[in-house]
């Protein structure tokens, strides 16, 4: 028998329809069970992703707070740097002024040293002339006197040859 004849037969037709319905039920049921399993897996994945998103969002908020604090610290440090630079400029100007004053003081000291040196040599010349005059007068009374020295601003005539000699 051929297929057309078989389909004309009522009982065979019923079996074919039943087989088709069973095949459809098995096909759709398999699809549905796969869908339900996939939906459960997707739900679990979605839940895990939501938890990770929330954790990352919390970390992000914490990082934003940290960055804000660091920006505030950097701003404060920049202000401190500006203040220190201003202080450094003031100190540098003060140092230059002190250096200038020191240079002037050194010049003044050198001038005074030169003046003192001149006065010292003049004092020594005056002391020598005074000693010569004094000791020459004393030598008239004591012929052993041949030298002099100055002690406590006083001229002392002596016969000690290790002292400064004089000639009349």
The single residue listed with the structure tokens 């000291």 is 109
The predicted-structure confidence for 1-32, as pLDDT tens digits, reads as follows 566 665 566 666 677 788 888 887 777 666 66
CB 157 within 8 A of CB 139: yes
Global confidence as pTM:
0.42
In a domain, 144, yes or no: no
Domain contains 160: no
pLDDT at 98: 95
Residue 3, in any domain of the structure: no
Q: Is 137 part of any domain?
A: no
Tokens read off for 12: 């065979």
H/E stretch holding 2 reads: none
* The pLDDT value given to residue 124: 84
SS3 24: helix
φ/ψ of residue 162, rounded to 5: -80, -10
Domains held by the chain: number = 1
Give the range of the structural domain holding residue 66, as residue numbers without chain letter: 11-122
In a domain, 96, yes or no: yes
Q: Is residue 83 part of a domain?
A: yes
Asked if residue 4 is part of any domain, the answer here is no
CB 148 within 8 A of CB 158: yes
Mark the ranges of the chain whose per-residue pLDDT is less than 50.
none
Q: Distance between CA atoms of 105 and 111, rounded to whole angstroms?
A: 10
The C-alpha atoms of residue 104 and residue 110 are separated, in whole angstroms, by 10
Whether 134 is covered by a domain: the verdict is no
């Amino acid at each position: 028998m051929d297929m057309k004849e078989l389909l004309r037969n009522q009982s065979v037709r019923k079996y074919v329809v039943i087989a088709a319905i069973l095949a459809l039920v098995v096909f759709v049921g398999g699809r549905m069970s796969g869908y339900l399993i996939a939906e459960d897996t997707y739900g679990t994945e979605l839940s895990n992703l939501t938890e990770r998103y929330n954790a990352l969002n919390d970390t992000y908020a914490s990082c934003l707070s940290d960055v804000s604090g660091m920006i505030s610290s950097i701003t404060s440090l920049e202000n401190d740097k500006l203040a220190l630079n201003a202080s450094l400029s003031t100190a540098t100007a003060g140092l230059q002024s002190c250096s200038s004053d020191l240079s002037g003081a050194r010049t003044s000291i050198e001038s005074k040293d030169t003046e003192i040196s001149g006065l010292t040599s003049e004092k020594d010349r005056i002391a020598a002339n005074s000693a010569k005059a004094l000791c020459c007068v004393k030598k008239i009374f004591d012929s052993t006197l041949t030298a002099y020295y100055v002690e406590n601003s006083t001229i002392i005539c002596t016969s000690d040859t290790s002292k400064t000699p004089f000639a009349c």
